[in-house]
Chain A
Amino acid sequence: MEILLPFLTGILFSVSLYFILHRHLFKLILGIILFGLATNLFLFVVGGMTRGGIAIIAQGNDLPSEPYADPVPQALLLTAIVIGFGIQAFAIVLIKRVYQTFKSNNLDDLNNNEKI
């Protein structure tokens, strides 16, 4: 199971980069969302995966009972998800505005719209 996750991260990264490089606007949204997911998964996998309990110290003990999962990557992940959520929300609104303004979902139509 654990050996699968790095491969999954790699696949997600490559798929998301393919989508980001694609000229269709909707695929750009998909690419941005998938890239965020891939980063989060990478953070999770690289932080070390432990099959264990929560790192909350029971009453009367000095240390949490082994084995426990490291809470720091989870906290980082949570923050990263929140930030990614904000950026993705903004990206979706922006891309919708682009679509409305340019009346096109092709990124190539955006070039050189304003002559100097």
Chain B
Amino acid sequence: MPANQLLVIPLLLPLLGAIISVFLWNSIRWQAVVVAVVQLAFISVSVIMLQQVLQAGILTTQVGNWPAPFGISLVTDVFSSLLLLTTSIAGLGVFMFSHTALDQSRKHFGYYPLFLLLQMGVSGVCLTGDIFNLYVWFEVLLICCFALIALGSRKSQLEGALKYLTINFVASGLLLSGIGVVYSLYGALNLAELARIVRSDHPNLDLLLVPGIFFLTGFGIKAAIFPLFFWLPASYHAPPISISAFVAGIISKIGMYTMLRLYTLIFSIELEAAQPLLLLLSGLTMAIGVVGAAAQVDFRKILSFHVISQIGYMLMGLAIYTPLAVAGSIFFIIHNMLVKTNLFLVSGVVAHRHHSFSLLKLGGVYLRHPTLSFLFLISALSLAGLPPLSGFWGKLMLAKGGFEAGHYLLVGTSLCVSLVTLFSMTKIWNEVFWKPRPRQLKQQPVVTGKSYIMYLSIIYLLVFILLLGVSAEPVIQMAKLSADQLFNSEIYIDAVLNPERAN
């Protein structure tokens, strides 16, 4: 099989896995085996793909064998391969955790097939080279998200799912309208073809702002950017921890990935006009996220608000728009996917041991479970960005990029927000792990399962987080390489549209 055909494997693997696990509907054990096999295969395919991309440059394939601007292209560059690898690593961790922690009834109602279809949606968004297919994959991903959040039909879950569904449906409508406008203006849907048109002297070039605003609002809702983030903390804390870890850790960053892709490839010209707006939005998103987190007393809600704050950091790279800052954003996305997933899993273990997510009812965890406290501390400090942990390098690149471009105010904000994040993490540390255990009545367990597998999944993710921090250099190089590829869109255009390279 030629290297280009590798591109469909990340889509086919989860899909076939989902189909097989539907056929094994009554036997959860075999479903779990299928999912485990798919996860391992997914990781190895992602590694091979990253290797190929680093060696041979951008890979493309034309689904259906129609030539590029007319057919459906699948494209992968260093950025998307890196992202796929990260999601697959986090996916295995979440799978290990959910295998033991998720209750049987949710598994009976199709948790595993939905999880795999969600992963298919993620790889679809990462790999597609066509703006309409981007929308389609986003919808695949969202329907699975809706179903996962509502799975089990607890009251808070239904409420969260309803909010999530309504707001995201409106966002999808905006995206679709934007795509319609793009097609009516430029007559193309292929990302590379659009990028080529935008860099030529097309008569409709002045109107690029219109679809740009549509996409900014649509992805702004999906990625939870400042004025449009209210649905996120309302829905992410509701489902069981295995589901909310994956949704909060992975899905919220996918919107950011698409924004980075589209705004470097297509709307880069319009970006100069929008830059003050983006700078403002990123600063406000960061600040509002941590301020919201400071007011919460639920472990999961604090983490959900931090998701918003970190989206602000990712947006910061795009707003500064220099290669270094975008590379910082990319590094930050990778770091955040792993760390955020891990923190959610830690909160799950705490709830497993101490039967609550509330900071008021928890306490004295350090006394009883020092290992767990240690695991939390590393992840939390990494999130806050203390050297030499992984969060530090992302923030360093962002800050350096910001200083070089002269956006001192934004860099100052981001450093202050870092400090507040640290405060917020110490608040969790004080309330959950350090303070004396409050006297309480006996409670029902919130999370059940074997604890050694839970610890295993957390340690597994932590190994990658530590690697990302201690030996950050190769990943930083790859992030810089992907930022270069994003900025030199001629490479992308050539890889997709040149018939000799696209098989």
Contacts and interface: CB of A to CB of B under 8 A. Distances in A.
Do A and B touch directly, given a CB cutoff of 8 Å in the complex?
yes
A97 B180 contact: no
Contacts of A83: 136, 139
Contacts, number: 91
B177 A43 contact: yes
B155 interface: yes
A95 interface: yes
Contact of B162 (A38, A39, A95, A116): A95
B176 A110 contact: no
A79 interface: yes
Contact of B184 (A39, A47, A91, A116): A47
Interface in B178-218: 179-181, 183-184, 189
A30 interface: no
Contacts of A47: 180, 183-184
Contacts of B433: none
Interface in A68-111: 72-73, 76, 79-80, 83, 86-87, 90-91, 94-95, 97-98, 101-102, 110-111
Contact of A90 (B147, B153, B179, B298): B147
B143 interface: yes
A114 B139 contact: no
B26 to A, nearest CB: 22
A98 B176 CA distance: 28
Interface stretch (B76-84, B97-105, B163-171, B447-455): B163-171
B159 interface: yes
B158 A116 contact: no
A109 to B, nearest CB: 10
A80 B184 CA distance: 16
A6 interface: no
Interface residues of B, number: 34
A32 B169 contact: yes
Nearest to B132: A76
Contacts of B172: 87
A46 B178 CA distance: 10
A63 to B, nearest CB: 15
Contacts of B366: none
B150 A94 contact: yes
Most A CB contacts (10 A, CB to CB) among B161, B189, B357, B358 go to: B161
Given A87-B143, A116-B357, A110 B159 contact: yes
A39 B176 CA distance: 7
B184 A110 contact: no
Given A86-B143, A110-B162, A114-B156, A46 B357 contact: no
Given A47-B184, A76-B179, A97-B153, A116 B297 contact: yes
B183 A97 contact: no
A75 to B, nearest CB: 9
Contacts of B176: 39, 43, 80
A46 to B, nearest CB: 4
Contacts of B183: 46-47, 72-73, 76
B464 interface: no
Contacts of B434: none
Contacts of A87: 139, 142-143, 146, 165, 169, 172
17 contacts: A28-B162, A35-B170, A46-B183, A72-B183, A83-B139, A86-B143, A87-B142, A87-B169, A87-B172, A94-B146, A97-B153, A97-B158, A98-B158, A101-B158, A114-B156, A116-B297, A116-B357
Interface of A: 20, 28, 32, 35-36, 38-39, 42-43, 46-48, 72-73, 76, 79-80, 83, 86-87, 90-91, 94-95, 97-98, 101-102, 110-111, 113-114, 116
Interface of B: 132, 136, 139, 142-143, 146-147, 150, 153, 155-156, 158-159, 161-162, 165-166, 169-170, 172-173, 176-177, 179-181, 183-184, 189, 297-298, 357-358, 360
Closest 9 interchain pairs by CB? A43-B180, A39-B173, A46-B180, A110-B159, A83-B139, A46-B184, A116-B358, A113-B155, A114-B156
Given A98-B159, A114-B156, 14 more contacts: A32-B166, A42-B177, A46-B184, A73-B180, A76-B132, A76-B180, A79-B132, A83-B139, A91-B165, A91-B169, A94-B146, A94-B162, A110-B159, A116-B357
